[in-house]
Structure 1
Amino acid sequence: AARYNILNGIKAPMAGHWINNPHADCIDYQIEADFAGLMSPGMPNAASAISDKVGHIMNYGDGWYGGVYVGALYALAFASDNINYVVEEGLKTIPKQSEFYQCIADVIAWHKKYPDDWKQTWLEVQKKWADDIGCPEGVFEPFNIDAKVNAAYIVIGLLYGKKDFTQTLEISTRCGQDADCNPSSAGGILGTMMGYEKIPAYWKMGLKEAEGINFKYTTMSLNDVYATGLKHALQNIKRNGGSIDGNNITIKVQSPVAVKFEKSFEGQYPVKKIPVQWSANKDEISFDFDGTGFVLRGDASKWENTSTFVFNTELYLDGKLIESPKLPVKYLTRRHELCWKYNLPKGKHNVKLKILNPSKEEEVKSWEAIIYSDKLINGLKANESSTAQKDILK
């Protein structure tokens, strides 16, 4: 979503802002934030400064906090071998009024209440925090790439893994959802704390053979990443008051400070999904709703499509042209949702999306709209209603 925004003139930080990005609270920056902490040994605030610049390219609010927190965990893992301390100290980089802070604080409290039962803590997370508001794929669905929930799974792995590398990976993986990224983050943080030599040999099998191979679509290998990361870490240490004297490195260790408070989807709550249909000529979608916002789900691209064709469209709200979204069919430049608008006056609205240049070779697909209002509802009941509507259409 952020890539599309940037390619179409919406630069950071607005590229990650929830008004322009339904995925603002998703896990995108959290799964990439390792470098910020690895470049900032013992310096969580320096990691946060990096995250402010990079994380807001793609996320906002809790989505950004996920990367801030992971970066802080890495930074602190250089300076302490106490998992509980690192988990709790890292949370000081997050504003207390945020849901991200509250979710991770809950995990810490549940770990103390159920010290030998990670599954119970996992269940408590599901019951309290698993309803997604923003990510269209996750609204009223079991799918969840919300940053705070997946960060909770990282923390569950770290706390219940008890510094056993394999156990930490297993628990974070079994928590589910983004079950490749979460154990990778947990393992990376624990590996930083333990040191490379103490990581079990089993988990390093094949690494030496791969270190000289360039990553796909790049001219960078792992060996290049190692060298670049070390270079940047040394520069960052000096920039933050440390010193380098040959092999002697002095780091000015930092006490974590909370970053600024921000919240995505303020006052916006999904209330239902409604099916949508194309006109007879398949060049227009129109639907009515009662609420404060909508997301029209759909896609103009196919997997690995390389065509340069772009659908030109017009989006009308209550009869007024409000946007002219471009819908590339190329997979790498696609728009992840067809269109959306939040923060509308509560009431009845009409949405109309027109395709100005239909194609015989390409197709715009759409199947449902998510409707938002200003009050939270029971997601399970809404999902049952949505499923019933789909069954009727069948």
Structure 2
Amino acid sequence: MKKTYFLLPLLALLAFIPGPASRPPATVTLSKATLQDKIKGGWAGQVIGCTFGGPTEFKFNGTMINDYQPIPWYDGYIKKTMIENFGLYDDLYMDLTFVDVFEKKGLDAPVSEHANAFAKAGYMLWHANQVGRSNILSGMKAPESGHWLNNPHADDIDFQIEADFSGLMAPGMPNTAVQIGDPIGHIMNYGDGWYGGVYVGAMYSLAFVSDDVNYIVRESLKTIPQQSTFYQCINDVINWHKQYPADWKRTWFEVQRKWSDEVGCPDGVFATFNIDAKINSAYIVLGLLYGQGDYTKTMQISTRAGQDSDCNPSSAGGILGTMLGYDKIPVYWKQGLKEAEDIDFKYTTMSLNDVYSIGMKHALQVVERNGGKVEGNQISIALQTPKPVRLEQAFTGHFPLEKRSINKNLTDEYTTTFEGNGYILSGEARPKGQMAAYNYESDYVAQMDVYIDGKKQETASLPASFTRRRYDLAWKYQLPAGQHTLRLKWLNPTTDIALKLQNLIVFGDKPVLARY
């Protein structure tokens, strides 16, 4: 079948030559079959990448996965993983939550519908997603729920791994993809955490209209403000790729050397674990640039870069799957996929086959809303030139100084002192005797007064439920630099619940080395 569309950047220069205001926007024409094939490739690519990288997720932190280490892939593996390890697919079930809201409430559904849907869902969440969920359940609204002052994980990867839907809804329209994702991304993220989703959404969008991964990576970065650390990190990866075009490992080392410091997430401060959006996005770009359109190389590199090594190949595989189309994803990577396409993702009523169809419907609606046309079997898309979003930066003026192990259960009160301008206290309320890592449940909610320098900061509500947990016990930024006293009082203690105080992270207004 003859293709009826042209590919950027072959005609990019002609398409984006400035002209008079009356000049119509450049357009790309696709057949409906081609658009559907690309949408399928985007969703299937996510599942392939997530499944492939699942066994290595956060098992290689601060180190790459060496070439001699095998990573399994075989016929039936996707179905087996979807049934037996369904918690792996937070990439997908979060995406599908938002797709489902758009389907049921329309494309103009307010952000509150999305926030409530994911906050009240039964699935497991972590990091920025879980803090955002806790904030929504406690009555806070977006975008405050994702702001770094209310969410210590604001720079984490969460929106980056679930922003795929925005780009798949907006083929060739990166600014529209950003607009769709903006309010949703701020439910759980801010700053670099939001930029991760902006960037991934833009890459999906441009993957519909370009067959050049270099172009997709570079052009999509124009949606990110150059002053941001996210932009600087990804721009470094692009430049290192130019400098070391045949050596992805050299670029990996450069990324590690310059961008591996963690500030926000308490699990990553002074640790090799790093769930920050920008470094994991760097690994997505690493896979795309050094893979150069080869699906196997892209999967291997984005996975073997380590850290969040299921989410990163999921994003890279989805973007490349969109560019290539479902039919051109190699048979090796689609083995066993057909038998999994009718399985509903856990906690949802949606399968891959469902989202292929719904995704096509939404994309056509978005095309027509934004100057395009759907006429018979042909779709004309009004292309957009990427524009930078507003500047946001989290944790400015805050530098980790100390990670103090407390590792004790609170029985009544606890008091400690620290010197700095902020803190995070990690820990959890958990039913005694429930030792499983996930899915502990109780209706009990601990109430804990938090005092800073004798003044009550808040009464923290701490559910002893994995799906409703607060994730971190207490935090406060932008304190006056100096000596502070933190006091905790458990208001409703019970013998059935352990309220564990784990670590105290202390921040200062200068980096450690600048203090000497």
TM-score, length basis structure 1? 0.94
- The answer for the alignment partner of 2:418 in structure 1 is 289
**Partner SS for 1:363:** strand
2:407, 2:331 → 1: CA distance? 55
Determine if the alignment matches structure 1 residue 92 to structure 2 residue 92. Answer: no
1:352, 1:227 → 2: CA distance? 54
Cα RMSD after superposing both structures: 1.4
The letter for the 2-side match of 1:201 is V
Quote the offset at 1:219 in angstroms: 1.4
1:82, 1:60 → 2: CA distance? 30
Cα contact 1:315–1:325 (8 A) shared by 2: yes
Quote the offset at 1:276 in angstroms: 2.8
1:307, 1:188 → 2: CA distance? 37
- The answer for the alignment partner of 1:388 in structure 2 is none
Quote the offset at 1:245 in angstroms: 1.2
Determine if the alignment matches structure 1 residue 197 to structure 2 residue 327. Answer: yes
The letter for the 2-side match of 1:295 is I
- Aligned residues, how many? 379
> Greater CA deviation, 258-267 or 221-230?
221-230
- The answer for the alignment partner of 2:71 in structure 1 is none
1:211, 1:198 → 2: CA distance? 17
> Greater CA deviation, 358-367 or 135-144?
358-367
Return the match for 1:55 from 182, 185, 198.
185
The letter for the 1-side match of 2:412 is D
- The answer for the alignment partner of 1:392 in structure 2 is none
Identical aligned residues as a percent: 60
1:170, 1:71 → 2: CA distance? 22
- The answer for the alignment partner of 1:121 in structure 2 is 251
Quote the offset at 1:367 in angstroms: 2.2
- The answer for the alignment partner of 2:470 in structure 1 is 335
Determine if the alignment matches structure 1 residue 151 to structure 2 residue 286. Answer: no
Return the match for 2:350 from 197, 220, 226.
220
Determine if the alignment matches structure 1 residue 377 to structure 2 residue 512. Answer: yes
User: Bigger relative contact order, structure 1 or 2, given CA contacts below 8 A and separation 6+?
Assistant: 2
- The answer for the alignment partner of 1:79 in structure 2 is 209
1:378, 1:247 → 2: CA distance? 63
Gaps of at least 5 residues in structure 2 are 1-130
Return the match for 2:300 from 170, 176, 181.
170
**Partner SS for 2:146:** coil
Determine if the alignment matches structure 1 residue 234 to structure 2 residue 369. Answer: no
- The answer for the alignment partner of 1:386 in structure 2 is none
Counterparts in 2 of 1:350-361, with a 5 A limit?
350-361=485-496
Determine if the alignment matches structure 1 residue 28 to structure 2 residue 193. Answer: no
Cα contact 1:278–1:285 (8 A) shared by 2: no
**Partner SS for 2:505:** strand
> Greater CA deviation, 299-308 or 210-219?
299-308
Cα contact 2:167–2:174 (8 A) shared by 1: yes
Quote the offset at 1:215 in angstroms: 1.3
- The answer for the alignment partner of 1:391 in structure 2 is none
2:413, 2:276 → 1: CA distance? 32
> Greater CA deviation, 90-99 or 245-254?
245-254
- The answer for the alignment partner of 1:323 in structure 2 is 458
Cα contact 1:42–1:254 (8 A) shared by 2: yes
1:234, 1:147 → 2: CA distance? 30
Gaps of at least 5 residues in structure 1 are 382-394
Cα contact 2:223–2:386 (8 A) shared by 1: yes
- The answer for the alignment partner of 2:148 in structure 1 is 18
The letter for the 2-side match of 1:287 is T
Deviations 1:81-101 (A, max 9, x none): 111111000000000000000
Determine if the alignment matches structure 1 residue 363 to structure 2 residue 498. Answer: yes
> Cα gap change, 1:247/1:299 in structure 2, threshold over 3 Å: closer, same or farther?
same
1:350, 1:156 → 2: CA distance? 45
Counterparts in 2 of 1:293-312, with a 5 A limit?
293-301=422-430, 303-312=438-447
1:278, 1:194 → 2: CA distance? 53
1:186, 1:105 → 2: CA distance? 17
> Cα gap change, 1:277/1:153 in structure 2, threshold over 3 Å: closer, same or farther?
closer
Quote the offset at 1:296 in angstroms: 0.5
1:378, 1:174 → 2: CA distance? 32
TM-score, length basis structure 2? 0.72
Return the match for 1:9 from 139, 148, 152.
139
Cα contact 2:407–2:500 (8 A) shared by 1: no
**Partner SS for 1:276:** strand
